[in-house]
Structure 1
Amino acid sequence: MKTYTFAIVGCGKLAHIIVDASLKGLLPNFKLVGCFSRSFEKAVEIANKVERSETGYICKPCQSFEEIQQLKPDYIVETASPTAFREIAIPALKNGSSLVTLSIGALADADFYKLVQETALENNTRVHLASGAIGGFDVMRTVALMEDCEVTFRTEKGPNSLKNTSVYDDSLQTVKREVFTGDAKEAIALFPTRVNVAVAASLASVGPENVKVSINSVPDFIGDDHRIEIKSEHIHAVIDIYSKNAQIAGWSVVNTLRNIVSPIAF
C-alpha cells in the first residue's frame, strides 16, 4: 500500500478532526508529517497529539510555511482561511504539493482561480475542493454542463455568527432579517470566512457572479442552514443541509483524502 505524506495549515478544531480520524486509522494511506498555524502553540498541540499516539511517526510543528515546504509533503490540507489559502496556494503547487482546501472563497477571484489552475497544470499538482458544510457538487456540476440553469443560495445563521461584520447590530438578536442579498463574489468579499460554501456551489455550477445569494439572520438560531436550488429546463434540484456546528467541514476533508486514494470514489 502506497503511503502519501501530508501537512496541515491551520490547527484549529477542524484540523483536530482530521488528525483524530488519521490516528483512528481512517486515513491509512496518509502520514501526517507537519503542521503550521499562526499560533505556534496550536501547531505544537497537534504535533504532541501525534507523538502520544501509537502510530510510530513524528509530526513536526512548524513556525513558518517555509518549514512546511521543506518537508515536501505530497498534500497540504488547508483549514485556515481564504487569506491563508491565497498566501500558500501558488508556492505549494510550485513545490510539488497538491492541496485540499476548505477556503474555497479565495477562488471567487477569477484571476486568482486562473493562476491556481495554470500553476497546478504546469507542476503536475492538483487542488481538491472539500465540500465543507454542503453537498451536491456532482448534481450542480452535471446540470450546469447539461444545459443553461439558474442557481440560488439561501442561508440562515444565528446573529452571533455575524458579529464583527458590517451587517451586525443588536436588533438582530430579536428580529429575523435578511442581512445580505447579492452574488457569491460580493458575499465572500463582505464575509471572507463565513460563506465559502456559497462560492463552492457557484464554482460547481454557474460561477460566483451568477449565483444569487441571500443571507438571513434568525434570533436564537444555532448552526447554519444552507439551501441551494438549481433550475434548468429539465431539472429542478434542491439541496438543503442543516449543520449544528462545523464538524461536517472537517469530516469532508477526511472524505476527500480517502477519495484521492480510493479505487472507488464517491
Structure 2
Amino acid sequence: MKQTKKKLAILGNGYLAGIITEAYGMGLLEGYEMTGILGRTEEKTRRLAEAAGCRACASIEELLEAKPDYVAEAASVAAVRDYGKRILCSGASLVVLSIGAFADRGFYENAKRWAADNGTRIYLASGAVGGFDVLRTVSLMALAQKKKAGADDSEGAITADSLSGFLTAGISTRKGPASLRNTPVFKEHFMTDTQEAKAFSGNANEAISLLPTKVNVAVASALATAGPDETTVEIASVPGMAGDDHRITAKIGGTDEVEAVVDIYSRTSAIAGWSSVAVLRNILSPVVF
C-alpha cells in the first residue's frame, strides 16, 4: 500500500533553507509534501516558496495552519527559542540546525517536555559533525558505570548531572582568523599571526553566550555527551586556514577502556543543510542509521 506523504514546512529562507528546498526539487525528499516556508524577508521567502511549490508564510501561525508533520529549522538560535514551543505543541516534530538554542538548560528541558506532552519529537541535525552514535554510546556506558557504582538514582536519562565525574568530554576547533571577525573573541593580531593562537577556552555554555552563531557543533557535542556545563571548548585561530576543523573527545572517567575521538573538517556550511536533508530522509526510511 502506498504511504501517505508527510507534510513538511521550513523555518528560514537563507542559504541552508535553500539546500532543503533544492533537495526537495531533486526528489530526494520524496516522502514529503512541502506546505510552507517562513522567513524574515518577504521577497526571499516568496522566491524560495515558488521554487518549492508551496506557501510563503508571514507568521508562525500561517506556517502551522497546514498542520505540518515536520518543521525543518534553518534560521537561527532565536527562531528556535521564539517558535519551538508553538511548533512542538502544534503536533509537528522539529528538525533543528541551530542546536545552540539548547545550550540553555532550562529551554532544553522545557522543549523535551513540550515534545513529550504532545507526541512530537526534536531531531538534532548533527550529520554535519558525524560520530554522534559512538558519542552517545560512550555516554550511555558512563551512565551504566555510575549506576553500578550506586551513585545514580535517576530513571535512565542521560544528563550532565547524571554523568558528572564519570564522563569527560571536550571539543577543540581550529578556524581561520577571518571567520572570528566581529565576534567578542577576535583580536586584530589574529590577522597577522604566523602561528596558531588561542581564541577561546571555556565550556559550551560560555561559548554559546559569546559566539551564538559559531558553536552549534560544540553544543551538539555537549548534548550528546556530558552536557553544556561540563563539556570543554577550545577555539584556535589558525593563519591561512579555510573552513572549520573539529576534534571531539569523550572518555569514560577513571578507565582507559573506552575513549571516542571524532575528527571533522568542513570548508563549506552546505554540509549543515544537507544534514537536515539526511535527517528527514532517515525519519521515513525503512532502514534507520
Place the TM-score, normalised by the shorter chain, in its bin.
Answer: over 0.9
Pair 1:206-2:226 in alignment: yes
- The count of aligned residue pairs is 259
Aligned-pair distance for 1:132? 4.8
Pair 1:88-2:83 in alignment: yes
Aligned-pair distance for 1:12? 1.0
* Aligned position for 2:283: 260
User: Out of 181, 187, 193, which is 2:213 matched to?
Assistant: 193
> For 2:18, what is the secondary structure of its paired residue?
helix
For 1:185, the aligned partner's letter is: N
User: Out of 122, 142, 145, which is 2:117 matched to?
Assistant: 122
> For 2:65, what is the secondary structure of its paired residue?
helix
Q: Which runs of 5+ in 1 are unaligned?
A: 51-57
Cα RMSD over matched residues?
Answer: 1.1
User: Out of 133, 141, 146, which is 1:146 matched to?
Assistant: 141
* Aligned position for 2:173: 155
The share of aligned pairs that are identical, in percent, is 48
| Distance across 1 between alignment mates of 2:127 and 2:45 | 22
Alignment of 1:1-266 (within 5 A): 1-50=3-52, 58-147=53-142, 148-175=166-193, 176-232=196-252, 233=255, 234-266=257-289
> For 1:264, what is the secondary structure of its paired residue?
coil
| Distance across 1 between alignment mates of 2:60 and 2:188 | 39
Q: Which runs of 4+ in 1 moved over 3 A?
A: none
> For 1:96, what is the secondary structure of its paired residue?
coil
How big is each residue's C-alpha offset from its partner over 1:46-65, in whole Å with a ceiling of 9 and x where there is no partner? Answer: 11212xxxxxxx31111222
> For 1:71, what is the secondary structure of its paired residue?
coil
For 2:223, the aligned partner's letter is: L
How big is each residue's C-alpha offset from its partner over 1:81-127, in whole Å with a ceiling of 9 and x where there is no partner? Answer: 11110001001111111100011111111111111111111111111
Aligned-pair distance for 1:66? 1.9
Stretch deviating more after TM superposition (155-164 or 252-261): 155-164
Report if aligned partners of 1:35, 1:62 keep a CA contact under 8 Å in 2.
yes
| Distance across 2 between alignment mates of 1:96 and 1:111 | 21
Aligned-pair distance for 1:169? 2.8
| Distance across 1 between alignment mates of 2:221 and 2:31 | 29
* Aligned position for 2:162: none
Report if aligned partners of 1:102, 1:132 keep a CA contact under 8 Å in 2.
no
TM normalised by structure 2 equals 0.87
| Distance across 1 between alignment mates of 2:66 and 2:83 | 14
Q: Which runs of 5+ in 2 are unaligned?
A: 143-165
For 1:213, the aligned partner's letter is: V
Stretch deviating more after TM superposition (192-201 or 124-133): 124-133
Larger Rg computed on CA atoms = 2
